A and B are shown apart, each in its own frame.
Chain A
C-alpha cells in the first residue's frame, strides 16, 4: 500500500509569489491535515480537510488556504509569500478524525524556501 505522497520535494520562491503544494493521501483515507514545521521547531497545525470540506484551521493568516478534491487529494496554497514562510510543510492523512483513534500517517514533506 502506497503511503502519503507530496509534491514537489523542494520548492524555491521569491517573496510575494504564490506557492502550491500537493498531497495524495493513503488510499481509503478521507481526512487530510497540513502542518508547518519551521527549521528546528515543532509541528504547527495548519488545516484539516475531510470529505472535501475544510473542518478546522490553525492560527495562520488567510493567505494560507487549500482545498480537498473529490479523490481526497489536497492542495495547500500560500499567497504573498514572506521570508518566514520558509519551512517544511507536512501532509498527513487518516481514515477519519484522528482524535477518534485513527492514526495520522505523514508524507515526506515539501521544503519551501522563500528568498
Chain B
C-alpha cells in the first residue's frame, strides 16, 4: 500500500515561502500525487496534482523527484488565510481495485 508520511505541523509567517514534503515510498507506476487544503468543518479543496518533475499553477508548485518517492508542495508568500491542514494524496492500487489513502495531513499555522 502506498502510504504517505507528512510532518504533523508547521509554522510560518506571512509573506514567507512554505514547503511541505510528503513521503510515499511505495507509490505505484500509475499513481498521481495530489494535494488538498482543508479548513475546519469544510471539504478538502484541490490545490495541485502531478506525476513527475514540476507542476505549477496560480496557487502552488509541486516538485517531484525522479524516483517519485516523495513530493514537495511549495506555497509562495503565504498569508493568514493559508492557515489550514494540507493533505497529500497518492492513488493506491491493489488487487481489489483502487483504494485512495490520505496522509495524516500537515497543520500549517501562518502567523502575522
Interface set of A (CB-CB < 8 Å, partner B): 4, 33, 35, 42-43, 45, 48, 55-56, 58, 88, 90, 92, 97-101, 103-109, 111
Complex: chain A residue closest to B51, CB-CB: A101
Decide: B100 and A99 in contact? CB cutoff 8 A: yes
- Point out the residue from B28, B34, B99, B105 that lies within 8 Å of A103, measured CB to CB: B34
Give the number of A-B contacts (CB < 8 Å). Answer: 73
Interface set of B (CB-CB < 8 Å, partner A): 28, 30-32, 34, 36, 41-46, 49, 51, 87, 89, 91-93, 96-105
Complex: chain B residue closest to A106, CB-CB: B43
Decide: A42 and B87 in contact? CB cutoff 8 A: yes
- Point out the residue from B32, B41, B46, B99 that lies within 8 Å of A56, measured CB to CB: B99
- The answer to whether A106 and B30 touch (CB under 8 A), given A48-B98, A101-B51, is no
